[in-house]
Amino acid sequence: MPVDAGHVTKTDDFTTIDGLLFAMYDTISGPAGVEPDWNRERSLFAPGGRLIPTRVGPDGQLRVQPLTVDEYIETRSPYLRENAFYEREVLRRVEQFGHVAHVFSIYESAETADGPAFVRGANLIQLIFTSGRWWIQSILWENDIEGARLPESFPAA
């Protein structure tokens, strides 16, 4: 089931899980030559929040790279500024217990907002609701081109 977040606005960034996840994908998406709104990116994360990409190394071993929000911005800013990049959520599962939630979010990355995907993968997102709003505590992700395959329980998007 594709996710339809077309009704979400920037004012919803923090009040709902839908709004926060829309903002997460929207902030890093855009045309070449446009700097992402890094202040908005920072505002989505709880203090101490982490972004954790994974990659399979030449030896076949998984590499994990925990980044602070500022380290993520420093390492990804040149690519996102110089290249058209659109990441969109195509499927989501949310498990919530009280003030915490875990989101399994399938994404696609493309060079245009509605163009064909050049990669798919999964974001595993930990959220916390505190101080009257939702925050991202961490995002751990892996692309499906690196030997991982999306779970069969997630139908093809």
Task: Provide the residue range defining the domain that includes 21.
Answer: 10-146
Of 38, 142, 136, nearest to 81 by C-alpha is 38
Of 145, 155, 134, nearest to 55 by C-alpha is 145
Assess if residue 127 is contained within a domain: yes
> Each residue of 123-138: b (16+ CB within 10 Å) or e?
bebbbbbeeebbbbbb
Assess if residue 121 is contained within a domain: yes
| Domain of residue 65, CATH code | 3.10.450.50
pLDDT of residue 145: 67
pLDDT of residue 156: 55
**Alpha carbon of residue 125 to chain centroid:** 8
pLDDT in tens, 86-107: 999 999 999 999 999 999 999 9
How many domains, in total, are found in the chain?
1
pLDDT in tens, 55-94: 888 898 889 999 999 999 999 999 999 999 999 999 999 9
Q: Full-prediction pTM beyond 0.85? A: yes
The neighbour count for residue 139, using CB atoms within 10 Å, is: 22
Better-predicted residue by pLDDT, 99 or 150: 99
**Alpha carbon of residue 97 to chain centroid:** 21
Assess if residue 101 is contained within a domain: yes
**Alpha carbon of residue 9 to chain centroid:** 17
Indicate whether 2 pLDDT > 50.
no
Assess if residue 72 is contained within a domain: yes
**Alpha carbon of residue 132 to chain centroid:** 22
pLDDT of residue 131: 94
What is the pLDDT confidence band of residue 146, given thresholds at 50, 70 and 90?
low
pLDDT in tens, 18-42: 999 999 999 999 999 999 999 999 9
Query: Tokens 């920037």 map to which residue?
Result: 10
pLDDT of residue 102: 98
Of 139, 126, 152, 153, nearest to 54 by C-alpha is 139
Q: Quick one: what percent of the chain has pLDDT higher than 90?
A: 75
